[in-house]
Amino acid sequence: MDDKKVRVRYAPSPTGFLHIGNAQSALFNYLFAKHFGGTMVLRIEDTDTKRNVPHGEDSQIENLHWLGIDWDEGPDKPNPKYAPYHQTQRVSLYHKYIQQLLDKGFAYKDYTTEDELKVMRDEQRKNGEAPHYDGRWYGRSEEDQKAAEKQGLKPDVRLHLPSNHIYAWDDIVKGNVQFNSDNMGGDFIIEKSNGMPTYNFAVVIDDYLMDITHVLRGDDHIANTPKQIAVYEALGITPPRFGHITLIYNPKTGKKLSKRDKETLQFISQYKNQGYLSEAIFNFIAFLGWSPVGEKELYSKDELIKAYDPDRMSKSPAFFDQHKLDWMNSQYIKNADVADLTDRIMDLIKEGESEIAKKLQDVNLPNLREFIKHVTKVYQREVYKLTDIMEKVYFFANVDSETFDYSQFDDFSPVVVRLILMQFRRELLDASEKGDIDFDTIIRSVGNATGIKGRELYFPLNVTFTGNTNAPQVGSILKLYSISTIINLVDKALTGTEVKS
């Protein structure tokens, strides 16, 4: 790394929720800053005012925080040396540099109308050329400009590109990349006729004035980089180092993940609402476009900061692997503290952003938190997502009104099933009379009294009390029910096993 203190930035446009692709850029900038003891800056690129959405910025910030990404400087933590952090508040700075370029003749005003541009492009296409701006206003006289102004035309400002000039850089991810100025679409706009700078101009001024040393962003920006280098060259400034992170691809279509891929959750808020843990998402995204040495896959944030190595960023596409994500999440849930998981589930219910969270808001239990904690303890090794636990909570809270499929008893002799259930009923009532109920003891003593053991004993009980042959700890689950509910379930199951004549 260079001697200069590392300063990186994540620069979202507040055009919507935090997408996994943006989160990936934010995360790698965060890892880069933390790994090298540098500074991470949050800058809001809001000059495309038509595309900004209300609360877009708040939602970005909220979701980044949820994910565990924080910054050292930004709109909420301004450093007076570099503030403000919204591009719309920096417009006068851009004007200063635009003027400099105009004065030096590196930039010029372009009065071409939309209609003229269209004719130009159509003609180029007809001639088999790639559409480009043909430079028709470069070097034009003041009289021409005045005449255009008189007609009420408002100019864009374009940067003039020297011909057959190579813009090259040593990309942190991709290695050597270069573009020839002849293939960059011609002189490009740096300030629109409404006085707003374009992204490719504002980003250069901001990165320069904010002392950014490394620019890490999605590789959809790769064709913007030579334009930005052209601005740096025109201003006589040394560019920062660039790194273009591989995009995320849908393995089914083989194409870049698109918002139209409805089956894949893509917004960070969706992962949260569906019961993914932020630590798992952080870990998962860190592996999209980067990999550590070795086979280990579960990395905490601190371990990632330590292990991060920009030389191990991947040049090839990162495929979104839903199974891997679910597996990772299940591992994090399995290893998490029960009280912590319970708090997270309580928060999800309060926020009510998923169907199951909404349903649980209407569940009336005297101690919902304890109930959830209990279910979490029983199921944390069995599930992929917190919402799976929430489904179980809902199910157990409403077990009285559930209808179970008693044909699952068919694998066993009805005589055996009935024997177990009747013995269970008896033992439960006895224990209840004595005021000493321990369900595991009751089940054990049913086994002893009937001589039925293992699968033959447990499967019928599992079906009776959970509707499913596979219940991790039926003795624990029973603690969630009232005695009358348990008796009711036993009686329903007994009716379900009646030998039909």
Was 350 annotated as part of a binding site? no
Q: Nearer Cβ to ligand GLU, position 243 or 496?
A: 243
Q: Nearer Cβ to ligand GLU, position 45 or 57?
A: 45
Q: Nearer Cβ to ligand GLU, position 243 or 275?
A: 243
Distance CA 224, CA 185 (A): 11
For residue 206, the minimal CB distance to ligand GLU (Å) is: 9
| Rg from Cα positions in the chain | 32
- List b or e across 107-116, with b for residues whose CB sees 16 or more CB atoms inside 10 angstroms: bbbbbbeeee
For residue 11, the minimal CB distance to ligand GLU (Å) is: 4
Question: Contact 139/108 with Cβ under 8 angstroms?
Answer: yes
For residue 9, the minimal CB distance to ligand GLU (Å) is: 7
Query: In 3D, which of 289, 290, 272, 291 has the Cα closest to residue 281?
Result: 272
For residue 133, the minimal CB distance to ligand GLU (Å) is: 22
Q: Nearer Cβ to ligand GLU, position 11 or 67?
A: 11
The DSSP letter of residue 77 is B
Question: Contact 443/475 with Cβ under 8 angstroms?
Answer: yes
Distance CA 307, CA 58 (A): 31
Phi, psi of 205 (to 5 degrees): -60, -45
Tally the residues of the chain: 501
Q: Nearer Cβ to ligand GLU, position 205 or 383?
A: 205
For residue 3, the minimal CB distance to ligand GLU (Å) is: 24
Query: In 3D, which of 446, 21, 438 has the Cα closest to residue 218?
Result: 21
- List b or e across 246-266, with b for residues whose CB sees 16 or more CB atoms inside 10 angstroms: bbbbbeeeeeebeeeeeebbb
Distance CA 333, CA 384 (A): 8
Q: Which residues lie near ligand GLU (CB under 6 A)?
A: 11-13, 45, 203, 217, 221
For residue 51, the minimal CB distance to ligand GLU (Å) is: 10
For residue 32, the minimal CB distance to ligand GLU (Å) is: 13
Distance CA 214, CA 202 (A): 16
Query: In 3D, which of 371, 329, 315, 381 has the Cα closest to residue 346?
Result: 371
Q: Nearer Cβ to ligand GLU, position 87 or 250?
A: 87
Binding site residues, as ranges? 259
Binding site residues for ATP, as ranges? 259
